[in-house]
Amino acid sequence: MANRPDNPMAKSGVIQLFPTYVWVAQLKPEVYEPINGKIEDYLQDLEQRNPELSASGQWQTAQDLHHQPAFAGLMTLVEANARSICDSLTLLYQGLHVTGCWANVSQQGFPHRQHIHPNNYLSGAYYVKTAPGADSISFHDPRPQATMLVPPARNQDLANPDQVSLDVSDGMLVMFPAWLNHSVAPNRSAITRISVAFNLMFPEFGTKMASPLWRGDTGAD
Ligand SMILES: [Fe+2]
């Protein structure tokens, strides 16, 4: 239409405001295979020492896996990726560290309900073991007002995406703002799904990054 002589517009376009970013990276097999092997061995050892875990159908580890040697390789990649994300956003910061890390182990039929990860800036999930039917994560529209009117559309996903499902695979690293609601559909495969979740925060946020966002009319005394 833009080139038609009867088009009254000299110029037109769409501006996307307040985008919600989800950063996705797929590790190379030669990188993720040894990482996943160490993680699976670590979890298998936990299950052997605590048989009630696998009997429950779904369990989570303690939240200190970022201090465990088996997770060191993954943590190096996570922190480097997080710094790259913050740099792409042009943030002014120094430290950025993992504050919590845990594994999720889910047998057939088990979901993860919708949630956020409070008290952090970035969160993410890394995939150790997936299969068709256990290979997605859903993100939910963070704008509560957006669901007030939902007109019918030929492509409802494009017009009114109240949630977006992302396909994931072994060795995939997915990162997102810690405030973004997300959930996982029930495991519809025969395998036990394994993911590792983590949070990152600026350690000096309270001392160096939390000043008011405006300048006063007088200087400091
Ligand atoms: Fe989560």
Q: Give domain status of residue 93, yes or no.
A: yes
- C-alpha distances in Å from residue 119, one per residue of 13, 52, 114, 208: 37, 31, 17, 17
pLDDT at position 104 over 70: yes
Neighbours of 42 (CB within 10 A): 16
45 sits in which H/E element: helix 29-49
CATH of the domain at 91: 2.60.120.620
- Name the phi and psi angles at 53, rounded to 5: -65, -55
Quick one: pLDDT at residue 150?
84
**Cα–ligand 1 centroid distance for 90 (angstroms):** 25
**Cα–ligand 1 centroid distance for 11 (angstroms):** 42
Q: Give domain status of residue 70, yes or no.
A: yes
In the chain, pLDDT over 70 holds for what percent of residues?
98
pLDDT at position 2 over 80: no
Q: Give domain status of residue 117, yes or no.
A: yes
Quick one: pLDDT at residue 160?
78
Quick one: pLDDT at residue 159?
79
Q: Give domain status of residue 12, yes or no.
A: no
Query: pLDDT band for position 131 (50/70/90)?
Result: very high
**Model confidence over 22-75: pLDDT tens digits?**
999 999 999 999 999 999 999 999 999 999 999 999 999 999 999 999 999 999
**Cα–ligand 1 centroid distance for 151 (angstroms):** 30
Q: Give domain status of residue 153, yes or no.
A: no
Rounded Cα distance between 106 and 192, Å, is: 6
Give the total number of structural domains in the chain.
1
**Cα–ligand 1 centroid distance for 17 (angstroms):** 25
Q: Give domain status of residue 173, yes or no.
A: yes
**Cα–ligand 1 centroid distance for 5 (angstroms):** 52
Which residues constitute the domain of residue 80? 23-51+66-141+164-203
